[in-house]
Amino acid sequence: MTPFKDMEKFLREGRVNKALTDRTIVYESHVRMFWNSVRYEQKEKMTYFAIQKKDEIYKKVDIEIKLNVGDLRRVLDLGDTDDDPTIIPERLCKGLWCRRGFAGHVNEKYLKSMFNRPYM
């Protein structure tokens, strides 16, 4: 159990702890409705989406909500900022594809036939 103590500490203190322990049920229909209504404005760096709410007479009303990246990071408890790097270096991507048995060139199209059978 000793080798796993450090790993356990890392997982509990890391940014992914909430994602690993949260038991929120997400329905596929809700995800589809979200992506059908969302739009991102690059100029303002804001995400706009609509939700439906029933008013006092139980009539469905669309409400537009806007979020920025900082709001999402705060709500999801990511513990990072906009300035933190999120792009994976090309060297790591190439290593990942090679470990998965990718037989093609890394900078070209990824076809299913280029992977080993377990990764298809």
The reply to whether 109 and 78 lie within a common domain is no
Question: What are the mean pLDDT values of the chain's consecutive 10-residue runs (120 residues total)?
Answer: 74 72 81 83 87 87 86 73 68 72 64 60
Question: Looking at the 3D structure of the chain, how many domains does it have?
Answer: 2
Q: Annotate 44-66 with b (16+ C-beta within 10 A) or e (fewer).
A: eeebebeeeeeeeeeeeeeeeee
- pLDDT number for residue 49: 85
The reply to whether 76 and 112 lie within a common domain is no
The reply to whether 51 and 110 lie within a common domain is no
What gap in Å lies between CA 47 and CA 55, rounded to an integer? 24
- pLDDT number for residue 112: 61
Neighbouring residues of 17: CB distance < 8 A, sequence distance ≥ 6: 11
What gap in Å lies between CA 28 and CA 34, rounded to an integer? 10
CB count within 10 Å of CB 81 equals 9
The reply to whether 78 and 55 lie within a common domain is yes
The reply to whether 65 and 8 lie within a common domain is yes
- pLDDT number for residue 9: 78
The reply to whether 43 and 75 lie within a common domain is yes
The reply to whether 24 and 47 lie within a common domain is yes
- pLDDT number for residue 106: 61
- In order of 8, 32, 52, 108, 109, the CA distances from 118 in angstroms are 29, 29, 42, 21, 19
pTM of the model: 0.41
The reply to whether 48 and 80 lie within a common domain is yes
- pLDDT number for residue 118: 60
The reply to whether 102 and 56 lie within a common domain is no
With beta carbons less than 8 A apart as the criterion, state whether 65 and 49 touch. Answer: yes
The residue range of the domain holding 96 is 87-120
